[in-house]
Every structure is written in structure tokens, then in C-alpha cells.
Structure 1
Amino acid sequence: MTQDLSPLFLSLKVASVSTFFVFIISIALARFMSRRNFFGKSFLDALILLPLVLPPTVIGFGLIVLFGLNGPLGSWLEQWFGVRIVFTWVGAAIASFVVSLPLMYQSVTAAFNKIDSRWENVARTMGVSEWRIFRTITFPLAWPGILAGLILSFARGIGEFGATLMVAGYIPGQTETIPLAIYFAYEAGQMEKAAFWVIIISALGLAIISWVNYWRKKTEIRIGRE
């Protein structure tokens, strides 16, 4: 019997969209947090990292409160734009975004903190704009950490289950990601289908980890030669 591959394509779509926004927002947050000292900084940092320690059901409940039809954001989007978040793939992407952001944020913040600020200060004394400093100095130096965060975020987005189930639900062909396909196939006694998706997501995870290890080893060799 031919296997429906829509869960694979949907998982890749959800993870790609969430990783794109995670990339933009985490870099902005990490850049701001690594270069500023202000009252409440520790609290804001803890708030960004909070999804790391919260159960997925808590994250899912919070997203439903915000984006549900009776929630402040959900009702606003429905009323003014006719956009519904819950029980759509967009809801799955938002859930993946929330759980992936702390991983990317941690990695990027660590990468920015490792950069010697003297390089940036020298460029400032030469009249270089902040945007050009970031584009030509900060970002390239932090790229290894940024790339590691991107890969981790993408992998986390593919594997998200709990919050996705609560926000997006299980609608075959629309919100059925690989983790949901595995769970409901098992519940229905379709062990071959569940095993198929277990093998697929395990192969994806193995490929991602193997590539990260290869890239890290290659980078260490290049740095050692320099």
C-alpha cells in the first residue's frame, strides 16, 4: 500500500516557517540582550527561556488562550483579517516557533558574547555604521553558533508534538505532522504506519546530527590550520 507522505511535507513546511521567524527574532533579541544592561534583564532572559522548562501542554494551553476564537489575538485576527490560527498548520508553526526560540536564542547569545568587542569598537572609531559592523564583523564571527542554533531549532520544530496537538489538533492532510501521525497510527493499531514514520523521523534526526558533527569537525580543523 502506498504511504501518504503529506505528514513529511507538512512537518518540513512547519519547521521551515518556524525556523525562519526564530532566526530573525532570536538574532534581534540576542543582539539586544548581549549588548545592553538594564533593570529586569534577568527576568526578560528567563521569560524567553521559559518554554524550555514548561510542559508542552502548558505552552499549548497558553497559545489557545491567546489565539483561540475567544482569545485576544485570535478574535482580532478572525474579525479583521478572517484568519484562524487554531486547527490550522499556522497554529502548528506557531507552536514550533515558541518551543524552538529558546534553543536558537541561547546559541546566538553565547555566540555574540564570545566575540571580542574590540573588533567592533575599532570599526566604530573608523566611522563604520552599526548595521555594517553587524553585517561584516559580528554576524560572520557569530555564524558557527547561529548555524548550530538554526539546526537545533529546525530539528525541534520537526519533533514538536504536545503543543502542536493542542493548538492545531489532528486533521489528516492539514495538521498531521509526523509526530501526530505516529501517535494516532499507534492509537489506531496501525503499527506498520507508525513504524514507517518512526523510521523517517529517526533518519531525519540522525542526518541532522551527523551533519552537525561533520561540520563541527571540519570547522575545528580549519581553525586549527589558521
Structure 2
Amino acid sequence: MTDFEAEALWLSLRVAAASLLGILPVALLLAFVLARGRFAGKWLVEAAVNLPLVLPPVVTGLVLLLVFGVRGPVGGWLRDSFGVTLAFHWTGAALAAGVMALPLVVRPLRLSLEAVDHGLEQAAATLGAPPLQVFLRVTLPLAAPGLVAGMMLGFARAFGEFGATVTFAGSIPGETQTLPVAIYTALQRADGETSAMRLAILSVLVSVAALFVAEWINRRSLRTARPR
């Protein structure tokens, strides 16, 4: 493995992990609201969450650039107030990957939350458990398979993100050139096919490893949640 390939692999893992950690609280909140909420305009929230699935990734990247770029309303405020710049930075790549992965984390988690037995939650509340404790100790463990599935899908989507990332964060070696971007860059060179193939094999190995880990966690969570 060359330094170029190792750098792209490490950056992709870093971006995927950061994006997943960043969107997980948002995904939990959105999944709970969509699973349990009863309010006007709920379909608008659901449509907004799923929008990255139907939009071309380049369009999503362009929207992020308009909003979070140095001339955008949010990006300009972050730069002027905190000196933070997201566009063409690895944190911007994580933001783009997180936005694209968010719907895939929310959906399985929402389905698991909808399948949780409300009677168990009510029993815990009757015994004096506050709402937050009921959620953390009853609801979330029962919804763990959906959470694990969502995290697996989200990590895989973030790890393989290309269109939104290259539009919003560019292709800067060592900064935003993730594995998919590096594969595309290698293919643009006359002698880059071998490097692109090695990068593709790396991506497959990482994806397979993530599937094994997710399956192991899922089996453990099912055994823990199963009544004894």
C-alpha cells in the first residue's frame, strides 16, 4: 500500500466515523419524532429527511456549498464568529457524508421505535422511572437492532460518499481526498488503474469488516434484549 492509498483510507475512515457520530443524535431525535410524533406538517419533516436519497449528490453538495460555504449565511457566520471553515476542509467532507447518510440511519431506527411495545414503557413509567430513563433503559435497548442497522448503513454510505463530498469539499490530498475521490483521481492518470484497483479492494475489505462488526453487535443486542 502506497502512502497515497494509506492516506486516502485513513481519511475515509476518519470522515465516516466523524459524520456518523455527528448525525447520530440528530437521527435519534428525528426517528423518535417521526415514530411517536403527531403534528401537522409531519410529512414535510419526513420529506426533508429523505430528500438526500432522491436528489443527485452533486445537487446536495451544491446546496451545502451555498449554505455552508464562506459566502453562505451559515458558513460566513461560522467563519466570522468562530473562525471555522467547513468548505474544502475534512470537516466539510464529514458534513457532506453525514447529510447523505442521515436518511439511512433514521429509517431503520424509526421502524424499530415504532415496533417497541408501549406497554413496557408505560410499566416502567408506572414504577416511577422518568421519561429520559424510560427512553434510555427501555425504549433504546429494544430498538437496538434498528440502531445498529442504521449505524451500519450510515457508516457504509458515508464511507462511500463521492458526489456531495467532491462538490462541497473538493479533492485535496490529505485533507478531503477520501477513498472514492482518490479512486476517481487515480483513474484520471494514465498509469492509475492499478492504484484504483487496490483502493477499490481496500474499500470492499472495509465494507465487509463493517458488516461483520455490525452483525456481531446486532446479535449481542438481540441476546441482551431477549427476556430470560
TM-score computed with the length of structure 2 as normaliser: 0.92
Superposed CA deviations along residues 73-100 of structure 1, whole A, max 9, x for unmatched, are 1111111111111110011000011001
Which residue identity does 1:18 align to in structure 2? Answer: S
What amino acid is aligned across from residue 209 of structure 1 in structure 2?
Answer: L
The answer as to 2:63 corresponding to 1:62 is: yes
2:194 maps to which residue? 192
CA contact (8 A) 2:68 2:74 kept: yes
Number of equivalent positions: 226
* Cα shift at 1:219: 7.1
Question: In the alignment, which residue of structure 2 is the partner of 1:145?
Answer: 146
Asked if 1:127 corresponds to 2:128, the answer is yes
**Residue identity matched to 2:166:** L
Which residue does the alignment assign to 2:12?
Answer: 11
AA in 1 matched with 2:18: V
Which residue pairs with 1:206 in the alignment? Answer: 208
Task: Report the Cα offset of residue 3 of structure 1.
Answer: 3.6
3-state SS, counterpart of residue 172 of structure 1? coil
Question: Superposed, which structure 2 residues align to 1:1-226 within 5 Å?
Answer: 2-4=2-4, 5-189=6-190, 190-213=192-215
Cα distance in 2 for partners of 1:93, 1:222 equals 32
Between the aligned partners of 1:186 and 1:85, the Cα distance in structure 2 is 27
Kept in 1, the 8 Å contact 2:148–2:217? The answer is no
CA distance 1:20–1:224, shift in 2 (3 Å): closer
RMSD value over aligned CA atoms? Answer: 2.1
Give the secondary-structure state (helix, strand or coil) at the position aligned to 1:18: helix
Alpha-carbon distance, 1:206 to partner: 2.2
What one-letter code is carried by the residue in structure 2 that aligns with 1:194?
A
What secondary structure sits across from 1:70 in the alignment?
coil
For normalisation by structure 1, the TM-score amounts to: 0.93
The secondary structure found in structure 2 opposite 1:197 is helix
Distance in structure 2 (CA, Å) of the matches to 1:197 and 1:9: 12
Distance 2:59 2:184 in 1: 19
User: Do the aligned residues in 1 keep the contact of 2:144 with 2:221 (CA within 8 Å)?
Assistant: no
CA distance in 2, matches of 1:44, 1:128: 30
State the distance in 2 between where 1:95 and 1:202 align. Answer: 21
Matched residue type, 2:197 = A
Q: What stretches of structure 2 of length at least 5 have no aligned partner?
A: none
Note the C-alpha offset of 1:69: 1.6
Question: How far apart, CA to CA, are the structure 1 residues paired with 2:164 and 2:227?
Answer: 45
Alpha-carbon distance in 2 for matches of 1:168, 1:201: 20
Offset from partner CA, 1:25-57 (integer Å, 9 cap, x none) = 111111122221000011211111111111101
- 40 and 223 in structure 1: CA distance in 2 versus 1, 3 angstrom threshold: closer
Give CA-to-partner distance per residue, 1:107-133, whole Å, 9 cap, x none. 110110000101111122222100110
Distance 1:23 1:137 in 2: 19
Regions of 4+ moved over 6 Å:
217-226
Output the CA distance in 1 between the equivalents of 2:73 and 2:208.
Answer: 40
